[in-house]
Structure 1
Amino acid sequence: MTAIARQPDRSGIHPLHALLLSGSFPLFLGAALSDYAYATSYLIIWSTFASWLIAGALIFTGLAMLCALIGLFRAERRGPYALYFLLLLVTWVLGFVNALIHARDAWAMMPTGFILSIVVAVLACVASLLGFSRANAGGRS
């Protein structure tokens, strides 16, 4: 009898991709919570803090989107991966618009910035759940 070496099946996304993906949601959530803190206290430091959190989240989301694009080309089933990539793209675009709104004066960014922060945080949560789901793990990423 001869033994056949077999490569183990990967049951998830690449660890670097997972690290980048898991960093985007907490940063977007922190920005939404900072916007809430600004809306209740009117301390300008909270709006500045939200702007920095959004900038960090855009970096993490952009790099996770790059990993998702690479995984999209390597996936055997492209349907779930394409949906995941498009969700990350929409999250990044709305996050960028949110960053532009937060670049305004602190009074001018409310309530649009707060509402957009909540929407982007929810989108980032859904993208993270979809990225870590088993339906999305069918590729060789």
Structure 2
Amino acid sequence: MVAISVPARPLHPLHAILLAFPLPLFLGALLSDIAYAQSFEVQWSNFAAWLNAGGLLFGGFAALWALIDLFRAGPARRRHAGLYFVALAAMWVLGLIDAFVHGKDAYAIMPEALYLSAAVAVLALVASWLGYSGIRPGAVA
């Protein structure tokens, strides 16, 4: 492998807007689950479910855009685009499982919902990091 200089490629502005939503929404769902675990106030579970649904909506569109970009990426950007898509897809799939868990009775969701929300929030952070970072000069192709 030869180190080549590949200019950083920013996200399309609409893609960047779509990617801006999953992290705060999934993080809000995690914080709502933590609040529910501490207080057992059912409304926190409802907040978490709605925040999770919003994260899934925007995350799904961001993942679809990332999939299209993966097919359009050149050989120098394909690995980064693949990692980015895998992070978004894993975030979305775990978020969907979390939505199914939140669909149960509020008293039956703990501790599964808390663990899933934490994993989804971490994956949203990783996906956002990968999406906004691009490829820097000196990357290995």
TM bin (shorter chain)? 0.7 to 0.9
2:21 matched to which residue of 1? 23
Structure 1 residue 135, shift from structure 2 partner: 1.6
Identity of aligned residues (%): 55
Contact 2:32 2:44 in 1 (8 A): yes
1:89 matched to which residue of 2? 89
SS in 1 for 2:107: coil
TM-score when normalising by structure 1 = 0.87
Give the unaligned 5+ runs of structure 1.
Answer: 1-8, 137-141
Equivalent residues in 2 for 1:1-141 (5 A)? Answer: 11-76=9-74, 77-135=77-135
Runs of 4+ in 1 over 2 A off after TM superposition: none
Give the unaligned 5+ runs of structure 2.
Answer: 1-6, 137-141
CA distance in 2, matches of 1:11, 1:75: 11
RMSD of aligned residue pairs (Cα, Å): 1.4
CA distance in 2, matches of 1:118, 1:63: 21
1:5 matched to which residue of 2? none
Larger Rg: 1
1:3 matched to which residue of 2? none
